[in-house]
Amino acid sequence: MPTDPRRPGRAVRRRPPNPLRALVLAVFLLFFVVPVLWLLLAATKTDEQLVHGDPLSAGSWSALRHNWDALTSYQDDAIFQWLGNSALYSFVALAITLCVTIPAGYALAMTEFRGRRTLLVATLVVMLMPNATLVVPLFLEVDAVHLVGSMWSIILPYSFYPFGVYLTYIYFSTAMPRELLAAAKLDGCSEFGAFRRIALPLAAPVVALVGFFSFVANWTNYFLPYVLLPESGQFPVQVGLGTLLNNVPQFNPTVGSLEVQRPELALATLLAITPVLVVFLFSQRFLVAGMLAGATKG
Amino acid sequence: MTRKARADGARRSGRSRRRAVLLALGSAFTLTVVACGGGGAAGGQGGLKKAPQTDGPLTVWVDSTRLAAAQLYQRQHPAVKMNIVTYDGDANGSNYLQTKVSLFNRIRRGWPDVVFSSQNNEVSWAVQAGFAAPLNKGLIPRSVLDGFARGANDPCMANGTLYCLRNDLSQTVLWYNAGLMRKWGYRVPATWEEYRALGEKVAAGHPGYLVGSAGDNFTPEIYMWASKCGANQITGPKAVTIDTTSANCTRMASLLDTLIKNHTMSTSSVFSSDFDKNQAGRILMLPGPSWFGGSLFQGTFKTPAGQIAVAPTPQWSGDPAPSAGNVGGGTWLLSAHSAHLKAGTDFLTWVTTANDYQGKVAPGYPAYTAAAKAWLANQTSSRYYAGDIAGPLQTEAGRVWPGWGYGQFSQEAIWAATVTPGVTAGKTIVSLLPAWRNAIANYARSDGYKVGQ
Amino acid sequence: MGAPSHGASRIAWPGRAGHGFVAPYVVLLIAFGVVPTVYAIYFAFTDASERFAGLSNFTTAAADFRFLPAIGHVALYLLVWLVFLVVLVVGLALSLHGLTVRAADRALRFLYYLPGALAGAASAMVWLFMLDPAVSPVGFLLRALGYDTFGQVIAPGHLPILLAVIAFWTGAGGWIVVMYGALNNISPDVLEAARIDGAGPWQVAWRIQLPLLRKWIVYMVILSFAAGTQLFVEPQLLSQASNGVAGRDYSLNQLSYDFAFQNDNVGSAAAISVELLVVGLVVAGLFVARSGFFDAD
């Protein structure tokens, strides 16, 4: 393993680990992880064990197997349909978001053009707008262009990701050495050429960051698809989870006999969050890699 | 110096900002015109202005429990083209249906033809929104409507017109553990006075055992409604009279307070893990709706067969007019905008009255009397219950007190947010009755109701 | 602010390539940001039949019995939540960044982030069980605090803390990742120089790392403040878990939803949204002006 180039002297001057720091990190580790661990274990139990057993005990393979069968038999594999829909909406929107957001954030940070500040302000304003009332206008817009019921009615609003524009903007404006661009200009690079040859290769961390956050935002969005989509077959997994939740008697006592048990819901939740965690692990590799930009700046 | 530069910059960018805003405003208003060309809700009271009828598929919205009904209908009627959509059934007051209908009203299309809702107060907004079609003005014959249990379709009435059909009844009864009652030599109480006395006896003789639960959102409907408490007298489409401190209310509130104090009345929700873990095995009696039997005892608590029995709701001694409460019971609505009224009406009639669904498949006590008979026979043959359940359930089906209305605001939610936290904090229900009234009045007013005393 | 004084640090190419870079984004911004926002503002000032309504939507909203309590709730929540967030996120990111074992800080970042994947409905069940002393893994802790039932845990007075804990649990991991990434951007030479000058870890953090994180922290505060005023998911979740005993009608944004989707009063719903927007903008404006957020360094 190569030593970390960004932390010279680490190997030379190793300080003893700080016990206070270790303690704080450990306490927060428990805080963040215990509920997730509980959820993980819940999927391996029966509903009875969930209530009567030790909260952090494991169930059994057979219970897991049973929960899996019960979950997948819910409305004929509906869970896979939901996951498929989520993947379709999230990944297509992710691709559009990256193509649109990274150049925009770059231009806002590194180039001067008319309307730059207006754009920054407008982006901030719409980011701060509570979305309770945006649903009605969005619905009317989507209807005006005859996209109600189409997957684009979800994907296009998802693709608009102002948070990512700001991430990119701050990244480039704090980490990108301007001298590099100036040199590129002197070398006769076109503006687009400079972006492609110099900025993009340095942008891996922020691409990973924006990509990850936009993916998560799309994947976990509940309200927009819940309100906009007309067919239950089009629902993404978050809305599906809501449906399952509403079929658990403990959450909705009016439900009849065709109920969903809580361990099934736990299992469905785990399935729903797995893609997010996979994407996190994947993007984290880029997140901290190659941030050499700062080196030349200091 | 910086300040000057700042001001200068602000002025410059201010100009372009204004231009951008103007541009955006322009495009927004164009959109308004395009999108909202229709405007205004159609439909109204009484008669129905039919939409042009076509041959397309019948769009039916159901929750996942009622999906079986729609699928069964499709199997039995293969010629009918159906588009079955599942949604949450407006469970827990999600307002999904109302949200979607108000969006559809804006674009003047998209409405489903037939909708199931697990709530029984949809009519309170659906008539005003022009969504619900009047059913007793030529669509469904009198003879069919007469077959429903007395008062079953009360939630569907607005200005004397019927706007929905009731799916199931949720009349309250007294559930009890027959084995324990026999073992301890207790008699099933017929009056609330006997009920209270038995509770006091249990507290002394069998501490830890329960005669009921007042920790749920259903508490006002199980106890206050059955006691004829006038907390929810809907007197007109947008008018309500609230009286929570009359004798009818205080007698029940103080009964609950007494039993809460001696710990025979639980303050945990019967659906909470806490109740399931620590109290579910110690139920001697539990006043509750008809669906407690299948959903709670058989489903959640997994009480073994042969223990649970049903008695009529206790009455106040000397009361000449017996009464019961009611907790829920879903409804079916037909869209006034439907282009398939005939097919929609046929489905609606079948799904609420046919023995094939209501009698044999439906989980709840059918609102249609003939189907209820078949349903009860089915339940009896399952041999889960101890003794006869048909008698008490049928009796109470006709006794639901009509003085408790079906407003747009949720009495369950109001009780949960106002009274439950107070009881948890150790206050008596009697002391919370005025606060309860205030909360009901507040919610009613914000839903546009006129509030009377 | 001031484009003239800072223009030099940005690269001016001849032509309008800058516009080319932002054009696709501008299209999306207008379609899904500006137009709906302007539309919502338009709603706030019109009645159901789209006539100008002056401030009547605002007065209707303000007269609602839930309005003032909701402001109090949100204010209290904001106080708890922002302190939690800023102090703990920056502190944890610095602690993680200072770890000497690379594998540990990588693993910790992942584990801290885990709850971030559990958004909305997905975690209702988790919190129902965590907060019920009868079945919670931390039941001993809750009982030690004197709470024996779920109802006691979710008593009205506890809500600001509970909601902040829930929000922190789901949201902090993401911000820790952002801050960690930003810390990586600080040149190791600078830190090394400081250490050679005899600065301890606290001084390095306070004098060097924090000032260089300024933009990121400002960004986090602006967004978190706005997100805090728009509190919705957490009380909704608690309400779902408790069948409406706690968390219903708790925040302004919930009230706005109720207006829009329960009372069919989009105007008053929009009025509340506009008010929240204005509050968010004022705070953002203060921070932006104070920190030179829009300027290049």
**pLDDT tens digits, one per residue of A110-154:** 888 888 889 999 999 999 998 778 888 999 999 999 998 899 999
Q: Does B22 touch chain C (CB under 8 A)?
A: no
Residue A64's identity, in one-letter code, is L
| pLDDT at position B35 | 34
Say how far residue B72 (Cα) sits from the centre of its chain.
25
Chain B CB contacts of C38 under 8 Å are 21, 24-25, 28
Lowest mean pLDDT among A284-288, B140-144, B201-205, C278-282: A284-288
**Which candidate in B61, B64, B286 is best for mutational testing of the A interface (most A CBs within 10 A)?**
B64
- Per the CB < 8 A criterion, the answer to whether A140 and B107 are in contact is yes
The pLDDT value recorded for residue A288 is 59
* CA pair distance C73, B123, nearest whole angstrom: 33
Same domain, B226 and B262: yes
Q: Is residue A8 part of a domain?
A: no
Residue A127 lies in a domain: yes
Residue for token pair 């302190």: C83
Domain, as residue range, for C213: 67-248
Question: Across the interface, which of C34, C132, C261 has its CB nearest the CB of B273?
Answer: C132
Please tell me the predicted confidence (pLDDT) of residue B28. 40
Bridge partners (DSSP) of residue A111 are: C11
In a domain, B17, yes or no: no
Q: Do B330 and A254 touch (CB under 8 A)?
A: yes
| Contact state of C32 with A120 under an 8 Å Cβ cutoff | no
Asked whether the beta carbons of residue B6 and residue C1 sit closer than 8 angstroms, the reply is: yes
Helix ranges (H only) for A129-261 are: 135-144, 152-159, 162-175, 178-186, 191-194, 200-202, 204-220, 223-228, 237-245
What pLDDT does residue A4 have? Answer: 41
Q: Are the C-beta atoms of residues B86 and B64 closer than 8 Å to each other?
A: yes
Distance from CA of A62 to the nearest CA of C (A): 22
Among positive and negative, which fits the CA dihedral B267, B272, B274, B278?
Answer: positive
B34 touches chain A (CB under 8 A): yes
Mean pLDDT for the stretch of residues B250-263? 97
Task: With beta carbons less than 8 A apart as the criterion, state whether C263 and A86 touch.
Answer: no
pLDDT value at B324 more than 50: yes
Asked whether residue C119 is assigned to any structural domain, the reply reads yes
- SS3 letters for A168-202? HHHHHHHHCCHHHHHHHHHCCCCHHHHHHHHHHHH
* Closest chain A residue to C284, measured at CA: A124
B89: which 2 tokens?
């059934």
For residue C18, the chain B residues in CB contact (below 8 A) are: none
Which residues in chain A touch residue C266, judged by CB atoms under 8 angstroms apart? 133, 136
A152 and A266 in a single domain? The answer is yes
Three-class SS of C63-128: HCCCHHHHHHHHHHHHHHHHHHHHHHHHHHHHHHHCCCCHHHHHHHHHHHHHHHHCCHHHHHHHHH
The DSSP output letter for B281 is G
Question: A-chain residues within 8 Å CB-CB of C102?
Answer: 4
Q: Give pLDDT, residue A256.
A: 63
**Tokens 């033809």, residue?**
B113
Is the confidence at residue B39, as pLDDT, over 50? no
Residue B4 within a domain:
no
Q: What is the pLDDT of residues A231-273, one digit of tens each?
A: 888 999 999 998 888 888 888 877 666 578 899 999 999 999 9
Q: What is the DSSP string of B370-408?
A: HHHHHHHHHHHHTT-SSS--HHHHHHHHTTB-TTS---S
Which of B50, B42, B63, B49 lies closest to B127, judged by CA?
B42
pLDDT at B408 exceeding the cut of 60: yes
Is the Cβ–Cβ distance between C145 and C153 less than 8 Å?
A: no
Interface residue B118 vs chain A (CB under 8 A): yes
Q: What are the CA-CA distances from residue B434 to residues A251, B28, B430, B431 (Å)?
A: 29, 48, 8, 7
User: Which residue, of B310, B338, B367, is where some domain finishes?
Assistant: B367
Contact yes or no for B165/B366 (Cβ under 8 A): no
- The two three-digit tokens of residue C129, written as one number: 């069980």
Question: How many domains are contained in chain C?
Answer: 1
DSSP class of B53: P
Domain encompassing residue A51: 20-59
Does B445 share its domain with B314?
A: yes
Decide if B327 contacts B288 (C-beta within 8 A): yes
Whether B44 is covered by a domain: the verdict is no
Q: How far apart are CA C158 and CA B424, in angstroms?
A: 13
Alpha-carbon distance of A245 to A263, in angstroms, equals: 11
Single residue among B340, B367, B394 that ends a domain in this structure: B367
DSSP symbol at B15: H
Residue A14 lies in a domain: no
What pLDDT, on a 0 to 100 scale, did the predictor assign at position A214? 94
Residue B380 clears pLDDT 60, i.e. is over it? yes
Provide the 8-state DSSP code for B241: E
Q: Note the pLDDT of residue A287.
A: 67
Residues A52 and A84 in one domain: no
Domain count for chain B, please give it: 2
Residue B275, both tokens: 């109740």
A21 vs C: CB within 8 A = yes
Inside any domain, residue C254: no
Q: Inter-chain contact A134–C1, Cβ cutoff 8 Å?
A: no
pLDDT of amino acid C272: 95
User: Do A166 and A39 share a structural domain?
Assistant: no
Nearest-Cα distance to chain B for C168, in Å, is 25
Out of C3, C39, C149, whose CB is closest to B28?
A: C39
Which residue reads 């942008």 in tokens? A203
If asked whether residues B202 and B255 sit together in one domain, one would say yes
Q: Do B421 and C134 touch (CB under 8 A)?
A: no
Helices (H), chain C: 3-7, 17-29, 35-44, 56-63, 67-97, 102-113, 124-130, 139-144, 150-153, 159-184, 188-196, 201-203, 210-212, 214-229, 233-241, 252-261, 266-291
Q: Could you give the CA distance from residue C240 to residue B88 in angstroms, rounded to a whole number?
A: 14
Asked if A178 and A273 sit in the same domain, the reply is yes
- Do residues B263 and B411 share a domain? yes
| pLDDT for residue A292 | 39
A263 contacts A46 by C-beta, under 8 angstroms: yes
Gap between the Cα atoms of A29 and C67, Å rounded:
38
First to last CA, chain A: 26
A43 and A166 share a domain? Answer: no
Counting Cβ atoms within 10 Å, is residue A281 exposed (0-12), middle (13-18) or buried (19+)? exposed
**B321 and B332 fall within a common domain:** no
Same domain, A30 and A126: no
Supply the mean pLDDT for chain B: 88
List the single residue in C with minimal CA-CA distance to A263.
C125
Task: Tell whether A40 and A179 lie within a shared domain.
Answer: no
Q: Determine the distance in angstroms separating the CA of B87 from the nearest CA of chain A, rounded to an integer.
A: 7
pLDDT of residue B287: 97
Residue of B63, B106, B170, B275 best to disrupt the A interface, most CBs of A under 10 A: B63
Distances (CA, A) of B136 to B48, B145, B146, B165, B236: 11, 8, 11, 10, 19
> If chain C, 297 residues long, is cut into consecutive pieces of 10 residues, what is the mean pLDDT of each piece?
41 68 95 94 90 91 94 95 92 88 85 87 85 93 93 92 93 89 82 87 86 86 90 87 85 91 88 94 88 64
Asked whether residue C45 is domain-assigned, the answer is no
B117 to chain A: closest CA residue:
A254
**Quick check: A108 and A119 in contact, CB under 8 A?**
yes
Kindly state the tokens that stand for C136: 């919670």
Structural tokens at position C188: 């190791």
User: For residue C81, what is the domain's CATH number?
Assistant: 1.10.3720.10
Q: Is A48 exposed, middle or buried (0-12, 13-18, 19+ CB in 10 A)?
A: middle
Residue in the structure block whose two tokens are 């008695």: B311
Is A276 within the bounds of a domain?
Answer: yes
Q: How many domains does chain A have?
A: 2
Interface predicted TM-score (ipTM): 0.86
Same domain as B261, residue B359: no
How far does C296 lie from chain B, in Å, by closest CA? 14
Checking if the pLDDT of B162 tops 70, the result is yes
User: Mapping DSSP to helix (H, G, I), strand (E, B) and coil, where does residue B82 land?
Assistant: strand
Asked if pLDDT for residue B344 goes beyond 90, the answer is: yes
What is residue B332's predicted lDDT score, i.e. its pLDDT? 97
- Any domain includes A184: yes
DSSP H helices, B2-150, are: 2-35, 67-76, 96-107, 123-126, 142-145
The answer to whether the CB atoms of A126 and C33 lie below 8 A apart is yes
- Asked if C22 lies within 8 A of A293 by C-beta distance, the reply is no
Instruction: Report the C-alpha gap between B113 and B339 in whole angstroms.
Output: 8
Q: Pick C226 or B113 by higher pLDDT.
A: B113
Q: Residue B160: inside a domain, yes or no?
A: yes
pLDDT band at B31 (very low <50, low <70, confident <90, very high): very low
Is pLDDT above 60 for B395?
Answer: yes
Residue A65 belongs to a domain:
no
Domain identity same for A255 and A141? yes
- Counting beta carbons within 10 angstroms of the beta carbon of residue C185, is it exposed (0 to 12), middle (13 to 18) or buried (19 or more)? buried
> C51 CA to chain A: closest CA distance, Å?
17
Report the helix count and the strand count for chain A, using DSSP H and E.
Answer: 16, 0
Q: Both B300 and B444 in a single domain?
A: yes
CA distance B41 to chain A (A): 16
Q: Distances in Å between the alpha carbon of C70 and those of C48, C63, C96, C227, C244?
A: 25, 12, 37, 15, 16
Q: Looking at the structure, do residues A118 and A223 belong to the same domain, yes or no?
A: yes
When pLDDT is averaged across residues B290-297 and rounded to a whole number, the result is 91
> Is residue B31 domain-resident?
no
CATH number, position A170: 1.10.3720.10
The verdict on residue A173 lying in a domain is: yes
Instruction: Report the alpha-carbon distance of residue A247 to residue C268 in Å, rounded.
Output: 33
At residue C16, the pLDDT reads 64
CB contact under 8 A, C243 and B10: no
pLDDT at A221 exceeding the cut of 60: yes
User: Tens of pLDDT along A38-61?
Assistant: 999 999 999 889 999 999 999 999
Cβ-contact C270, C44 below 8 angstroms:
yes
Q: Tell me if C129 is assigned to some domain.
A: yes
Same-domain status, A55 and A112? no
Residue C49 is predicted with a pLDDT of 81
Residue A1 within a domain: no
For Cα atoms A99, A101, A104, give the angle at the middle one, nearest 5 degrees: 110
Degrees to nearest 5, angle at CA B309 with B304 and B313: 145
Contact B405, B156 (CB under 8 A): no
Question: Which residue in the set A118, A226, A255 is minimally distant from B13, CB to CB?
Answer: A118
Last residue in a domain, options A59, A90, A107:
A59
Closest to C149 (Cα-Cα) out of B152, B331, B268: B268
Provide the CATH number for the domain around residue B436.
3.40.190.10
- Structural domain containing residue B312: 172-325+404-452
Residue type, C152: Q
Q: Is the pTM of this model over 0.90?
A: no
| DSSP secondary structure letters along B177-209 | EHHHHHHHTPPPPSBHHHHHHHHHHHHHHSTT-
